[in-house]
């Protein structure tokens, strides 16, 4: 069994013949998608950003999730009739004959009481300083399991965080792509929020197919 925690990008690439690409049309379409941000949402984001600026260098992972990441996700509101947001749920599956197991910090999946089809994996609320493990690899490992469990051929979306820096990911087939960082202590916080609102709309469309 391969656990998410022991994964590195190198190990995943060699084990599953994955290829990291610099550009991917699915990722670019996602990152460039438009979404309206209301005046109230902008005010909420500015308040969150100020709180983050004052504390990001001192918060541990749980505090970062409680005070910043959780509220941001709540403003997007991924609880719909098509899917829901889940946290710390066990995710297991067989990828190319290898059983994999982990507990992503968050995921968006169909199902109301328990995750069924995973669309998005959010892994590792890591501090910028003294972080343990490889959050990009752990996110990718969760995405590989989600891909294996999903019977339809569709991209799997993901994201990981290191303190103020957010990185977005897609996995399609054997190719994966990771964005450049978006800083949540800058005006890029509005881009982060827009990207998640666009993801919500994409997942609604995917779940209706």
Reported as a single tens digit per residue, the pLDDT across 137-184 is 999 999 999 999 987 788 999 999 999 999 999 999 999 999 999 999
Question: How many helices (H) and strands (E) are present in the chain, helices listed first?
Answer: 7, 11
pLDDT band for position 207 (cuts 50, 70, 90): confident
Please check the confidence at residue 131 and state whether its pLDDT lies above 70.
Answer: no
Decide if pLDDT at 128 tops 60.
Answer: no
Q: What is the 3-state secondary structure (H, E, C) of 109-128?
A: ECCCCCCCCEEEEEEEEECC
Confidence of residue 124 (pLDDT cuts 50, 70, 90): low
d(CA 123, CA 35): 24
CA 96/CA 46 separation, integer angstroms: 44
Q: How much is the pLDDT for 126? A: 57
Residues 6+ apart with CB under 8 A from 22: 177
pLDDT at 54 over 70: yes
How much of the chain is in helix, strand and coil states, percent to nearest 5?
40, 25, 35
What was the pLDDT predicted at 47? Answer: 98
The count of C-alpha atoms lying within 13 angstroms of the C-alpha of 135, restricted to the half-sphere facing its C-beta, is 26
């Amino acid at each position: 069994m391969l656990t998410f925690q022991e994964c590195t990008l190198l190990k995943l690439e060699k084990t599953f013949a994955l290829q990291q690409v610099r550009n991917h049309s699915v990722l670019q379409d996602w990152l460039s998608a438009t979404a309206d941000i209301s005046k109230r949402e902008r005010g909420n984001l500015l308040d969150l950003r100020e709180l983050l600026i004052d504390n990001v260098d001192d918060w541990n992972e749980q505090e970062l999730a409680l005070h910043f990441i959780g509220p941001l996700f709540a403003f997007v509101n991924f609880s719909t009739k098509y899917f829901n947001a889940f946290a710390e749920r066990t995710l297991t599956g067989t990828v190319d004959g290898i059983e994999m197991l982990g507990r992503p910090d968050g995921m968006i999946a169909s199902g109301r009481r328990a995750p069924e089809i995973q669309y998005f994996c959010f892994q590792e609320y890591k501090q910028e300083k003294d972080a343990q493990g490889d959050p990009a690899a752990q996110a990718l490992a969760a995405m590989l399991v989600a891909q294996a469990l999903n019977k339809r051929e569709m991209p799997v979306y993901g994201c990981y965080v290191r303190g103020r820096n957010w990185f977005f990911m897609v996995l399609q087939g054997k190719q994966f792509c990771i964005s450049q960082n978006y800083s949540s202590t800058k005006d890029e916080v509005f881009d982060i929020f827009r990207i998640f609102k666009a993801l919500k709309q994409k997942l609604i469309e995917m779940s209706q197919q």
